[in-house]
Amino acid sequence: MITSRDNKWLKLFRAALRGTGPRDGEPIGVEGPKLVEEALRSGLEADALLVSEGAERSAERILRAASESDAGIPQSRILHTTGKLFKSVAGTDAPQGVAALFRQRPWGFDDILRGPGANGSNDANRKLAGARPPLVIVLAELQDPGNVGTILRSAEAFGATGAVASRGTADPWSPKALRASSGSALRLPLLRGMAIPVILAQLRIAKVKIYAASSAPAADANASGGSLASQADLRDAAAIFIGNEGGGVPDEVKRAADAMISIPMAEPVESLNAGVAASLVLYEAARQRK
């Protein structure tokens, strides 16, 4: 039972649950029973589990999930603390008394192209891995962690093989993005902090077609203005770049893109929410691939 504010574990939890995302090698902080359970079920390795007084029942479900997973939680790393101290490390206003620190998965560029499952514990996923052409979503300087999480959630729902968060994009493993992703950010193969020229070069080498998604059709001379389906054949290997909330896709991406995809819409709306725009293109890709 941890009762001191200065406990080193509490410090680690506080940094992880209140930060803007872990650096390389640092643990990912996950808060709330549902998200912790999903992380365990997806095969992530837990460094530590923190349970507040009164949350023991949620913890039981989680320990069961841990015992059923490949990874598990060492008994000595199941830590208990008071409600007050838990609140002092939590990142939410109404904490639910369960949090965990997880090890980062060492995803590589191949995983992004092949999809989840090759190293995971889910049999259905393992069968899928490698069986479908790459569908990569690239977040190009997206600033809102809520949008980042929303896009990763849609990406997993619509069968993306992986995601890349460019340098300058809000961290998909930050507490806010994790929550918005409903756990998808912990399952989908994901690379963070890559420079855009490097992303473009890697995709070219892998022979993946590059699409720049725009939600402001009129401004782009290349835009066909027609339906999404008529603009892009997304059945083959494809990477979809989504740009920043204010400025859209960076110019270097527009220049390098094989095609622009613009979402047809009515005046006087100038653009859609970035999470919505990305989700529409991913939905269209899933529809075409069926």
Q: Which residues bind a copy of itself (CB under 8 A)?
A: 41-42, 122, 124, 146, 150, 153-154, 156-159, 180, 182, 184, 187, 227, 263-273, 275-276, 279-280, 283, 286-287, 290
Question: Between residues 216 and 256, which has the closer beta carbon with respect to a copy of itself?
Answer: 216
- Cβ proximity to a copy of itself, 82 vs 121, nearer residue: 121
Nearest approach in angstroms of CB 86 to a copy of itself is 22
CB of 267 to a copy of itself, least distance (A): 6
**Least distance to a copy of itself from the beta carbon of 280, Å?**
6
Q: How far is CA 237 from the centre of its chain?
A: 20
Q: In whole angstroms, how close is the CB of 84 to a copy of itself at the nearest point?
A: 27
Contact 282, 155 (CB under 8 A): yes
Q: Per the structure block, which two tokens stand in for 71?
A: 């990874």
Which CB sits closer to a copy of itself, 12 or 113? 113
Nearer to a copy of itself, 81 or 271 (CB): 271
For residue 268, cis peptide bond before it (omega within 30 degrees of 0): yes
3-state secondary structure of 202: helix
Kindly state the smallest distance separating residue 150's Cβ from a copy of itself, in Å: 4
CA angle 235, 164, 14 (to 5 degrees): 140
Closest CA to 265 of 224, 229, 216: 216
CA distance 27 to 16: 7
